[in-house]
Chain A
Amino acid sequence: MPDDTQIGGRNGKFPATRWSLIVASRSAQAEERQRALDTLIAAYWKPVYKYIRLRWGRDNEQSKDLTQEFFARLLEKDFLESYDPEKARLRTFLRVCVDRFLANEEKAAQRLKRGGNVQFQSLDFESAEGELQQLEIPSSETMDDFFAREWVRSLFSLAVERLRRECEAQGKQRHFQLLELYDIDEGGKELTYEQVARQFGVKASDVTNYLAYARREFRRIVLEQLREMTGSEAEFHREARALLGMDVDLP
């Protein structure tokens, strides 16, 4: 399975709804806490890595170490204990944590020498570096905006991957392929439903239905993930509005 990181979610399964990693990270059960951190790392490690590369100007080797060290400290120090959803978005809180962590980099480096006890072997830094090379970064974009966009990219990538797995499991590969064609790959929009129907050997109305299904499922997955990644209902609604142009209420 072409998966950048296996830490993000056991078996790729996310809890149904109404589960927040913030709540879980404070759970008395170690397994629950670990699952929360896995989810957090899966969504945030790429944005953090790219942010360290660009905002702090570190080379890729240093950025790899610092990214791993940052998340290791999250595990060690119960960072999330100090997070208050009323005061800031989780995304903003984590970015500020990265900045503070980098500001104290020397101490962090010492810790790394002293211990370096947590290694996330499965983080595919090569792919993150490759993505960084492909990125078009608008000159007007602030680092805050950059971090937010990379977080969206990470969230959507995880959602697309999960949708692919779910479609495969249900024998609905065609539904996913249509989403891939129209909404992910370049140039798919140029094709009419009739052309695509001929290409896939289905009726044009099937194209509408399959695509609608895949988009609906994609939306559901994104919103479920978003609910996990946000600290409060208010933040969830705010992020959903910013992310998908809508406020939402999950069933």
Chain B
Amino acid sequence: MKFLSNAALDRLRAAADAPDLSGTRYQLVDKLGQGGMGGVYRVEDTALERKVALKVIGVADPGGELAARLLREARVIAQLEHPGIVPVHDIGTLPDGRVFYTMKLVQGRSLDEHVPQLGSIADRLRVFEKICEAVSFAHAHGVLHRDLKPQNIMVGPFGEVLVMDWGLSKVLADANPPARLPGAISNAGPGTGHGAVLGTPGYMAPEQARGEKLDQRADVYSLGAILKFLLNFGERPPRPVVAIAEKAVAEDPALRYEAAQELAADVAHYLDGLPVSAYPESAPTRIWRWTVRNRAWLLLILAYALMRTLFILWRGK
């Protein structure tokens, strides 16, 4: 009997769990990661001669619940065509009976790995704005993500930001989703559970942790937690930005931003040197900010007034 080295044991383990791609257009390259629902693999699409990511369920699914969840995830993402949301290419069932979908292979790193490279506060806020835009787009289509966290955000080599892992997403009942989106589900309803905790502690809104009915403010909370995460690195964050993050993660949803778009707008205001709704300023601060923003005009007016005065004085002589 052949001796199996530790490395061989690891390879056999991985091989036994690898998706069966025989008879498909895909060739396995390697494994990219493992989630609660299954694994994500880098595969070669031999028809189009390009590499894509293949997500496949890897767990027991006698009732077909997880297969339905994976299909639902793929269909939700497919309806959300946005530069900040990873596109789905294909969907199907492998010869081993496991359901899969393929998506764009995102070359880059997750936000938690990438954040040390984001030097200034402004750089980090610009990335954050892009995350908010993608989430806001999903909300506009009646979809909540429900598991936003730095590990689920990918930052590409050209600064592109992609929101990943829509496995826990929820289609809002009272929203007006595109006709082909799968139907609305309750927070603890089928297609989301399989005994898993929905969301990630630290990034999950309190009402989500309590299993209550959710709306888009639950994602706003997670976005606020991501913003706080981004502010933990490097220089000390300015007070208005801290106030934005604090407002987003308010315990009471009523005290948060109503929408991701509002949160993004406040961040944009800060970047443009405008006042932010989360940070009421005193009158002198407001005057100073107005002065700084309009200093070019003010200097021109001052220069004109000075010249005019000098001219009058000269004429009076």
Chain A residues proximal to chain B, CB less than 8 Å:
2-4, 127, 130-131, 134-136, 149, 152-153, 156-158, 160-161, 179, 182-186, 189, 193, 208-209, 212-213, 215-216, 218-219, 222, 237, 241, 243-249
Contacts and interface: CB of A to CB of B under 8 A. Distances in A.
Interface in B88-126: 95-96
Contact of A134 (B3, B23, B27, B34): B3
A158 B14 CA distance: 17
B262 interface: no
A249 to B, nearest CB: 4
A244 B8 CA distance: 14
B2 A136 contact: no
B65 to A, nearest CB: 12
Nearest to A246: B58
B16 A186 contact: no
10 contacts: A3-B1, A4-B1, A131-B3, A156-B12, A161-B2, A212-B20, A213-B22, A216-B20, A244-B13, A248-B60
A161 B60 contact: no
Interface in B59-109: 59-62, 95-96
Given A156-B12, A245-B39, A247-B59, A186 B7 contact: yes
A189 B12 contact: no
A212 B22 contact: yes
A136 B16 contact: no
Contacts of A2: 1
A208 B8 contact: no
B3 A130 contact: yes
A212 B28 CA distance: 10
A4 B12 CA distance: 21
A107 B20 CA distance: 53
Contacts of B17: 219, 244-246
A241 B27 CA distance: 25
Interface in B10-45: 11-18, 20-23, 27-28, 34, 39
Interface residues of B, number: 32
B283 interface: no
Interface in B133-166: none
Contacts of B48: none
A163 to B, nearest CB: 10
Interface of B: 1-9, 11-18, 20-23, 27-28, 34, 39, 58-62, 95-96
In the A-B complex, the 3 residue pairs with the smallest Cβ-Cβ separation, listed nearest first, are A212-B22, A247-B60, A219-B16
A121 B241 CA distance: 76
Contact of A249 (B7, B14, B62): B62
A125 to B, nearest CB: 13
A219 B22 CA distance: 15
A29 to B, nearest CB: 29
Contacts of A184: 2, 4, 8, 11-12
Given A156-B12, A157-B3, 15 more contacts: A2-B1, A3-B1, A134-B5, A152-B9, A160-B1, A160-B12, A183-B15, A184-B11, A184-B12, A185-B8, A193-B27, A219-B17, A244-B13, A247-B59, A248-B60
Given A212-B95, A249-B60, A183 B6 contact: no
Contacts of A186: 5, 7-8
Contacts of A127: 1, 3
